[in-house]
Structure 1
Amino acid sequence: MIMSEDRKNMNNGRHSIYNLEQGSLAYDSEETRIEQLDILLDGFMATIAEINGLEKAESVLEAAGFRTGKILAEKLHITYHLQEIENWLSHIYKISDWGNVEIEHLCLKKKTVILRLAITSTNEISTNLSIFLSAHFAGLFSYLFNENMWYRFSENKQEDHMSSIIEISRSTNSHYPVQPIRTQEEEQIEYLKTLVEEKKNELTNTIRELSSPVIPVLENIVVIPLFGKFEDSVAAELTEKILNGIIKFEAKYLLLDLTAVKELDEFTPAILRNITQAVKLLGAQSFLVGISPAVSLGMVESKIDIRQFKCFNTLKHALTYTLSVEGLQITKSG
């Protein structure tokens, strides 16, 4: 219950007294009024909107109003009794100059409330204040009903006065004030993750298309320059590209140029062996070209049978050999 008609609080040696019947607030024995909250809220909203956008600013304002309502109800020990609720709402907001709050409908069983906030023509309620107050009452009745409540706000304008209607009912997850911000942030993060993954895949596909091209250099001879390391997926695509190139250019000789391969991992020797064997099944021969000392040592340490590979120091040497096998040679014209 509200413990007394006059509620006394002490803060740093100073006294404040709420008189619910008169709707007044005295601070150090002097009458005090809490005014122009709408100005403070407008500044608060403008600051948050500038940083995070208007939609998030409204959600923050709702969350602030919701929590202050719960805190206020808890501090004043509001109970479940209809008479006390009506008495409390009739007086407490007078000290804030927000207008008169009346309960038009309250069903404790269904947990529904309709409030009318009467505003004089000289003190119209601002959009930001309406958001704050509506969420504030939602928080207040959430404490009272021990269940998350939410609101629906509407205005009723007449010639001599204006009133605001605030309908309070059970909340759904989509209405809970903090959830929309988190949901939007999570959706934005997921969108960015998807975008990054798509760009990554596009870049990977572009690199694969540009890397290790099948180059026909002379009749019956193709060259494949190899780069970097080879994962299983890359090795499978490389093998397929090579075999298609052998068929497309009707090649009899495949020169695998390892000049750009500076290090040899544990998988590359096996991949080279598989490519060589697959090419052989198509009736072509494979030669390794441009092997560096580091790659040479790596091949030996891998304990793979290097006798199955025919190797050349440079591409020129490999071309000269293949031409000689075909009974051809390169001569200078003129």
Structure 2
Amino acid sequence: MTDSKGSITSNPSIAVNDVQFNWDTKEGRFQFAGNDVVLFWIESAMKSFLDTIQEVSGDEAAEVVLETTGYRMGTNVSDFFKQTNVEEVVKMLPKVYGAAGWGKVTFKEFSVENKTAVIQVKDSWEYKVMKEQGKNRPGLFLPGHWAGVLSGLFEDNIWYKINKSQILGDEYSEYIYNASSITPSQNIHDLSRKEEQSQISKLEEMVLDRTKELSNLVKEISSPLIPVLDDIVVIPLLGSYDENRSNELLEKTLSKLPEFKARYLILDLTGLHGDVNEYTIALIHKLTETTSLLGTESILVGMSPELSIQMTKFGFRVEEKKLQCFSTLKHAIFYSLSQQGKQII
């Protein structure tokens, strides 16, 4: 700008839509309606700013951040106009926002009594940035911002519903506002809980995968079939058994025994606890019964007094099944060899 003599002035000023813009080029200040402001290029600087937020925090978190930021900025705007009649403020705001380059703002409906409003915004800076970003979902900064403005003006919590969106192909964006219990803080907490639940779900998946790996490992190393000598196989029974573990061992034994051509199956019970359950007793019963059908004689080794009491309690009678029992694995192996006319020299 120039003064009356044609010289460039260092403090230009202009009024747009009754809103004053002032510059102090020597001090590097720019004022809008009496307050310091700063200018950004929408398609470059603002786009880079929003791109960075989304890159750092992720799309979903970025939306909540921008929505909350817009809301809090809106409450600052309402605080600025709080001494002015609400109807007058509503008439003034479209001019103020239009002069500031926020797009064409229209209050289609407005009711102080009902605390409702319908606001239409066309060609906003948010729309222009999102268009440059190639987004295909409505932005949340502006609807959140106007929710903050109206919350301050109505002195009540106001929230929005997006009725139309320019980014989705509508002629303009339209936001419907009503009194609501929804707040930016609630949305932040909901996002946090969602993130926590997501992390918990990931941990649960990791635990399930790890448990599956460990279960498979246990299957491989638990109660293995050990061929100790020709025709003699040993199965050490370890720990406690449930239905699944019992069935797995039974199936494994019946499928592997023919490969070893075992005539004697020694069940080493040393690793069983005295307080065994019904599945363990049933497993011993099934192993001795089913392997006999394959022509294999079962021998029990390492039975403690406590275990014998438990087995009797569950109805397992060694004498009825005519099973050989020995205190050590060594004696069982010697017995098996002697039955075949063999001995260890």
Tell me, what secondary structure is at the counterpart of 1:283?
Answer: coil
For residues 149 and 298 of structure 2, what CA distance do their matches in structure 1 show? Answer: 81
Stretch deviating more after TM superposition (138-147 or 258-267)? 138-147
Q: Does the Cα contact within 8 Å between 1:246 and 1:252 map onto a contact in 2?
A: no
User: For 1:139, what is the secondary structure of its paired residue?
Assistant: helix
Q: In structure 2, do the counterparts of structure 1 residues 57 and 291 end up closer, same or farther at CA, with 3 Å as the change threshold?
A: same
1:23-102 → structure 2 map (5 Å cutoff): 33=35, 53=57, 58-65=62-69, 67-68=71-72, 85-88=90-93, 90=95, 99=100
Q: TM-score, normalising length from structure 2?
A: 0.59
Letter in 2 for 1:273: H
**Distance between the aligned counterparts of 2:104 and 2:257, measured in 1?**
86
Q: 1:113 corresponds to which residue?
A: 120
For residues 160-187 of structure 1, what are the alpha-carbon distances to aligned partners after superposition, in whole Å with 9 as ceiling and x for unaligned?
A: xxxxxx945479xxxx965665545433
Distance in 1 between residues matched to 2:202 and 2:244, nearest whole Å:
26
- CA separation in 1, counterparts of 2:257 and 2:109? 82
> 1:1-334 alignment to 2 at 5 Å?
33=35, 53=57, 58-65=62-69, 67-68=71-72, 85-88=90-93, 90=95, 99=100, 103-105=104-106, 107-108=108-109, 111=118, 113-114=120-121, 134=142, 136-137=144-145, 139-140=147-148, 147-149=160-162, 167-169=173-175, 178=188, 182-267=193-278, 268-307=280-319, 308=321, 309-330=323-344, 332=345
Distance (Å, rounded) in 1 between the aligned partners of 2:187 and 2:107: 23
**Structure 1 residues 302 and 153: alpha-carbon distance in aligned structure 2, compared to 1, 3 A threshold:** same
Partners of 2:147 and 2:159 within 8 A in 1: no
Distance across 2 between alignment mates of 1:213 and 1:77: 85
Is contact 1:263–1:295 with CA below 8 Å preserved after alignment?
yes
Distance 1:138 1:199, change over 3 A: farther
* Alpha-carbon distance between aligned partners in 1 of 2:223 and 2:84, rounded to the nearest angstrom: 76
List structure 1 runs of 4+ shifted beyond 3 angstroms: 31-36, 52-57, 66-81, 88-91, 98-112, 115-118, 140-147, 149-154, 166-171, 176-188, 300-303
Tell me how far apart the structure 1 counterparts of residues 197 and 74 of structure 2 sit (CA, whole Å). Answer: 27
2:238 alignment partner, SS class: coil
Aligned length in residues? 271
Q: Distance in 1 between matches of 2:196 and 2:286?
A: 48
Unaligned runs of 5+ in 2: 1-17, 21-32, 41-49, 111-116, 126-138, 178-185
Contact 2:143 2:160 in 1 (8 A): no
SS of residue in 2 equivalent to 1:186: helix
Residues 107-146 of structure 1, C-alpha deviations (whole Å, 9 max, x = no match): 559956215678xxxxxxxxxxxx8953532534886986
CA contact (8 A) 2:238 2:272 kept: yes
Q: CA–CA distance in 2 between the matches of 1:228 and 1:276?
A: 19
User: RMSD of the TM alignment (CA)?
Assistant: 4.9
Q: Distance in 2 between matches of 1:234 and 1:71?
A: 64
The verdict on how the C-alpha distance between 1:114 and 1:60 changes in structure 2, with shifts beyond 3 A counting, is closer
In structure 2, C-alpha distance between the alignment counterparts of 1:302 and 1:59, rounded to whole Å: 65
The one-letter code matched in structure 2 to 1:265 is: V
AA partner of residue 292 (structure 1): S
Structure 1 53/258 Cα, relative in aligned 2: closer, same or farther at 3 Å?
farther
CA distance in 1, matches of 2:176, 2:261: 75
Q: Which AA in structure 1 matches 2:223?
A: S
- TM-score by length of structure 1 reads 0.61
Preserved contact between residue 149 and residue 170 of structure 1 (Cα < 8 Å) = yes
CA distance in 2, matches of 1:79, 1:304: 93
- Structure 1 spans left out of the alignment, 5+ residues: 1-20, 24-30, 39-44, 119-130, 155-165
Is the 8 Å Cα contact of residues 266 and 299 (structure 2) preserved in structure 1? yes
